[in-house]
Amino acid sequence: MKVILLGTAAGGGCPQWNCACALCTAGLEPRSQDCVAISADGAGWYLLNCSPDIRAQILATPELRAGPGPRDIPLRGVLLTDAELDHTLGLLMLREAGGLPVWAPDAVLQALSPFRAIIDGYGGWTWSSPVDLPGLRVQVLPVSDKKPKYVTSAQDGPWVMAYRIEDVVTGGVLVYAPCLKSWPAGFGAFVEGASLVLLDGTFFAPDEMAGVGGPDQPAMGHLPITETLTRLPGRAGPHWAFTHLNNTNPVLDPSSPEHAAVLAAGASLPPDGTTYVL
């Protein structure tokens, strides 16, 4: 299984257009909004979430560009972890695809009804909860009931999922969990035997947003890295990597002690464009 990190930042990317914090003005390597592409055969590709930056991400990734025919595309579908706008707005940008299957939890599909009405007007789209990918075995684990701000219904969740995706030929396993409100029950078993675990790295500390007037991080549905690091078993076991980094997160600065702390714990902070073969 080939895994490409198309984007590794949280909503708004880094630098964020409406922010002049120290990190957004530091000239750091830019990161686009979180999105991952996976393929079992190198020919057909599936997106894990679909960021507002998806057009630029596709054009920056040769494996995802159109061809060889004038309208041939390698995209075969989209798996959504939740209904947040930074994970779903890119679907509107893919309207020219001629239709793709989209898999998501039932609550997410319901919340996306307005999007679906628009996209369905371009024909050929399907929306479902069970996931069936050729050559890949997919499991899901509910990890949070945090609803997006725009959702006003009282519909029950789960609202946020993590994915465990196994290549049935090589045995390589990816776990994708960019939104963890906590370390949920069963998550330890869910990552057991994984080759690569992409974890929620949105914030480093629980009070990080205080400097820019934001709420505490658990209330925003993201477990701080400081709490996650205590659960990582050093360099043994799977490759641990943090993604979905917010523009306020000090780990973005390679010279910061927070960045060093992540590396010392045996995890990594891969940039956009990083590729893994599992």
Sheet of 45-48: strands edge to edge?
126-128, 101-103, 75-79, 45-48, 35-39, 2-7, 275-277
pLDDT for res 238 = 85
pLDDT for res 180 = 95
**8 A C-beta contact, residue 3 and residue 274:** no
Residue 199 is which amino acid?
Answer: L
* Mean local confidence (pLDDT), 35-48: 97
For tokens 């922010």, name the residue. Answer: 19
Residue 264's CB: how many other CB atoms inside 10 A? 11
Tell me: pLDDT of 235 over 90.
no
Question: Which residues lie closer than 8 Å to 114 by C-beta, 6 or more apart?
Answer: none
**8 A C-beta contact, residue 199 and residue 243:** yes
The number of residues in the chain equals 278
What average pLDDT does the structure give for the chain? 93
Residue 24 is which amino acid?
Answer: C
State the Cα angle at 217 between 12 and 194, rounded to 5°.
80
- The least confident of 14-18, 176-180, 236-240 is 236-240
**Both structure tokens of 203:** 């914030």
Confidence of residue 24 (pLDDT cuts 50, 70, 90): very high
Confidence of residue 153 (pLDDT cuts 50, 70, 90): confident
- Integer CA distances (angstroms), 264 to 175, 200, 224, 276, in order: 21, 18, 17, 21
Confidence of residue 214 (pLDDT cuts 50, 70, 90): low
Tell me: pLDDT of 134 over 80.
yes
Tell me: pLDDT of 4 over 60.
yes
CA distance 171 to 236: 18
pLDDT for res 90 = 97
CA distance 43 to 14: 30
Question: Which residues lie closer than 8 Å to 215 by C-beta, 6 or more apart?
Answer: 209
- The CATH H-level (homologous superfamily) assignment of domain 2-277 is Ribonuclease Z/Hydroxyacylglutathione hydrolase-like (3.60.15.10)
Global model pTM greater than 0.85: yes
Confidence of residue 220 (pLDDT cuts 50, 70, 90): confident
In the chain, % of residues over pLDDT 90: 84
For tokens 């370390």, name the residue. Answer: 183
Query: Domain boundaries in the chain?
Result: 2-277
